[in-house]
Amino acid sequence: MGTVSHYAQRGNAARQQRWERMQRAELLDQYCDLQAQGVSQRQAAQVLAVPRTTLQAWRAWQERLDVCPQVGTFFASGPGPAYLHRLVMALHVVFVEIGACGIRLICLFLQMTGLNWCVGASFGTQQRINRGVEEAMGTYRREETARLAEQMPSQDITVTQDETFTGGLCLVGMEPVSNYILLEQTAEARDQDTWSALMAGALAPLKCRVIQSTSDEAPGLLAYVEHHLGVHHSPDLFHVQHELSKAVSAPMAAKQRAAHKAVAQAEAALNQVQELLAHTNGACAKRGPGRPPKATRRLEQVVQAVEAARLESQRLAGQREAVTQSIRAIGHAYHFVDLERGVRRNGKRIARDIQCHIDPLRTMAQQEHLSETCLERIEKAERVVPKMQATIEFVAGYVRQQVRQLD
């Protein structure tokens, strides 16, 4: 009686158990092997400690699959779920974490490949999987940082810092040579004290000394670098070029679009006049001699309007190209070494070269009667030029110091 009660309890527990996919595949493999050896279904259930009805349901599910039998057998066997698990993990790492394509494209991928019969392809299911992937990546980062920090040699580094606002305020700090993310932390504020507290925790386990910070001109960041880090602040090139682009490139693009539209309208008017003139000439030929139609004079005016619109469009296209070249040239000028001659350049000359590329942009903005806001953006970019000069001088001094240490 006690033995029967024991088996009944074990059977009830087995029926209530939630089988993991890998465990289920392994048990199903063993069940198929036992059946191939002539073991009955009831005996196999006792050997595997799995209810016979559960084994029957697993087998029936596999036979009902609307897929190739070989495919169904593979994904129901031990190697199948292991491969499937690896594939889904790779999809989340590549699609979401590296490619930033989003979870919904993973759902679409699973549906289009027909794998949604063995993997939950709903957004909620894949969102839970992605949350686990990100937690595992965070855990790996913390463990590896602690392990590798003990072995790393002491070194001087530059940090690049910024604030992002996707899903809330997030403070980000990176080491640009290795692309190592020092800090990626949500925060309630972006003032200097918040930056100091978060960066101190990120830098504490590392054997490094921050000698320079690169960022935009955010007041909290500038104050953090000056008062807490006490190192040189280097303005980034992107925000200088971006301000100039918003100041001149965007308005000139709008003007060029308007000019292109004017050309299309003038050409449409020309076609109408030409059609009218052709119709009028035909009517005059039937009517005989008389006063010439006014359409001829109108045709001359429209032709002149088309030519003027085309010339204006071409002029604006040339202006836009000049703007693009000037903004791009700032990036070439902001360089510690002359890349063509291989000689070192000084900060004053670099600042002068940068200014020479900004001045034509201001002249163009004034000639094109751009708004006061556009001129203010140019001035905002121009205020950064002395800091760019100071950065070149800082780099030159640091290089001299390193060379002297090499004796």
**Model pTM?**
0.64
DSSP state of 97: I
Distance CA 364, CA 325 (A): 13
Which single residue is written with the structure tokens 């640009």?
Answer: 176
Q: Return the pLDDT at 5.
A: 47
Distance CA 295, CA 345 (A): 66
Alpha carbon separation from 30 to 15, 23, 75, 362 (Å, rounded): 18, 11, 15, 79
**What is the block-wise mean pLDDT of the chain (407 residues), using blocks of 10 residues?**
46 56 71 77 78 75 64 71 89 92 93 85 93 93 88 91 89 94 92 95 91 93 94 92 92 91 90 80 54 67 88 91 92 86 86 93 92 93 93 90 88
Burial label for 235, CB within 10 Å (0-12, 13-18, 19+), is: buried
How many residues in total does the chain contain?
A: 407
H or E stretch including 4? helix 2-16
Q: Return the pLDDT at 22.
A: 66
